[in-house]
Amino acid sequence: MNVGNSAKVSIITIGDELLIGQVVDTNSAWMAQELNIAGFEVHHRVAVGDIWDDIWEALDQESQRSNVVLITGGLGPTADDITKPLLCQYFGGKLVQDAATVRHLEYLFAEVFRRPLSERNLKQADVPDVCTVLSNIRGTAPGMLFKNERAVFISMPGVPHEMKGLMTYHVIPLLQEHFNPGFIEHRTLLTAGIGESDLADLVQTFEQALPGFIKMAYLPHFGMVRLRLTARGKQEEKQSFISILDSQFAQLQEVVKHVLVVNEDISMQALVGRLLKESGTTLATAESCTGGYIAHLLTAMPGSSAYFNGSVVAYSNSIKQNVLQVSASTLESAGAVSEETVIAMAQGLLAVMQTNYAIAVSGIMGPDGGTAEKPVGTVWIAVGDQNRLITRKLSLRYDRIRNIELTATNALNLLRQFIQE
């Protein structure tokens, strides 16, 4: 490829649904992450609608800015998908049928979908004769690679798992083959119990003394703040730069040690899962206000059945009584959202689930259900084992979804502290 030695990557996402907000663009984040790991930097991302002139202009502009332009979306079989004819015209080609894609479509419809291959589906095999076809083993629309004097352009479907296959099997290997990527290395740690500003004060001296090739970023999320150090450089500098990065990262951990949760870029649930797995112990949850979200966070991870036994989502009081054996008198005197109730829920859960650890939560997530005494955002958490339970009260002040997320993360963090103590 006649595109110089180092790659500058732009991502263009195409689709009206992105501009009217009907769909959240998760593709770009995934692509950026994978490219980063492979040593490539995305420095510009743009979203345009299914509009001929806007897409055309984006191709012009991004290829002036970058020498690699990755395009997702607009390749479906329906009339609102105009990317393919546009690319054909942009690069001065004409549509021809690609034999390998026809064979793949025949296979897909005969063996996987088990329905007839329609004329409309067969059109997915028509590609501009000026592109290199990249096979899409997970779907019907192939990837297409184009070149001009400014850049390499690769067009992929917007369906996430199809795009991911193309990126993994074609795009990243191609870029690695044809460009000499610099290196990008991140070191990320997670803190809890400190706000972004206080954390910034804490690390100010450290931050100002960082060498120029290392950049620090603050990433607040779910009430916790991650700190990320990023080193960038040329391949030949990699070894020495990374050793400096590691030593700086060790220093940073010292500076924040009283609020440090973990010195890796992993989620709280992954951390808790690992602690349980390593110690061969098990967990169950009794969830009122989080409604199964803690269980979902844990079970979304492969292999969680090794340490997660299950959950009682006790949304109604009758389930707190019947399944978790919370007494009617506790519910009446202290209320469903109280320290007494979450302790009783955790005890009942340990009895019925026979796990080593229990998490129990009850709260008022909003927008309704608050009282003067227990306003929306009041949450009680209990975590522990057969011998000991500890509790915490939260006073949240966000919307329902965020309150659910924050409660889940806080409950998992409390269990982490309990286990690590």
Closest CA to 291 of 353, 384, 361: 361
CB of 237 to a copy of itself, least distance (A): 19
CB of 80 to a copy of itself, least distance (A): 5
CB of 354 to a copy of itself, least distance (A): 7
Burial class (CB in 10 A: 0-12, 13-18, 19+), 317: middle
Q: Which is nearer to a copy of itself, 129 or 196 (CB)?
A: 196
Q: Which is nearer to a copy of itself, 129 or 219 (CB)?
A: 219
Taking CA 352 as the corner, what is the angle to CA 349 and CA 358, rounded to the nearest 5 degrees?
Answer: 30
Q: Amino acid letter at 344?
A: A
Task: Classify each residue of 355-364 as buried b or exposed e, where b means 16 or more C-beta atoms within 10 Å of its C-beta.
Answer: bbbbbbbbbb
Rounded to the nearest 10 degrees, the angle between the axes of helix 238-255 and helix 196-208 is 130
Q: Which is nearer to a copy of itself, 94 or 215 (CB)?
A: 215
- Tell me which DSSP letter residue 293 carries: H
CB of 61 to a copy of itself, least distance (A): 7
Do 244 and 214 contact (CB within 8 A), yes or no?
Answer: yes
CB of 197 to a copy of itself, least distance (A): 5
User: Half-sphere exposure of residue 93, counting CA atoms within 13 Å on the CB side?
Assistant: 21
Closest CA to 12 of 71, 63, 64, 87: 71
Rounded to the nearest 10 degrees, the angle between the axes of helix 52-65 and helix 83-90 is 50
Q: Which is nearer to a copy of itself, 112 or 420 (CB)?
A: 112
Dist CA 397 CA 23 (whole Å): 27
Q: Does the bond joining 367 to the residue before it have cis omega, within 30 degrees of 0? A: yes
Q: Amino acid letter at 399?
A: D
CB of 130 to a copy of itself, least distance (A): 26
Q: Which is nearer to a copy of itself, 27 or 330 (CB)?
A: 27
Q: Which is nearer to a copy of itself, 132 or 325 (CB)?
A: 325
Q: Which is nearer to a copy of itself, 107 or 113 (CB)?
A: 113
- Which DSSP string corresponds to 338-383? SHHHHHHHHHHHHHHH--SEEEEEEE--SSS---SSS-TTEEEEEE
CB of 265 to a copy of itself, least distance (A): 8
Residue with tokens 């021809």, as numbered in its chain = 96
CB of 2 to a copy of itself, least distance (A): 25
Distances, alpha carbon 244 to alpha carbons 231, 249, 264, in Å: 9, 8, 17
Q: Amino acid letter at 78?
A: T
Distances, alpha carbon 197 to alpha carbons 262, 269, 405, in Å: 20, 25, 22
Q: Which is nearer to a copy of itself, 150 or 400 (CB)?
A: 400
Q: Which is nearer to a copy of itself, 102 or 130 (CB)?
A: 102
Give start and end residues of each alpha helix (H) in 38-143: 52-65, 83-90, 99-107, 119-122
Q: Which is nearer to a copy of itself, 361 or 420 (CB)?
A: 361
Q: Which is nearer to a copy of itself, 102 or 184 (CB)?
A: 184
CB of 421 to a copy of itself, least distance (A): 26
Structure tokens at 175: 């870029």
CB of 316 to a copy of itself, least distance (A): 4
CB of 302 to a copy of itself, least distance (A): 6
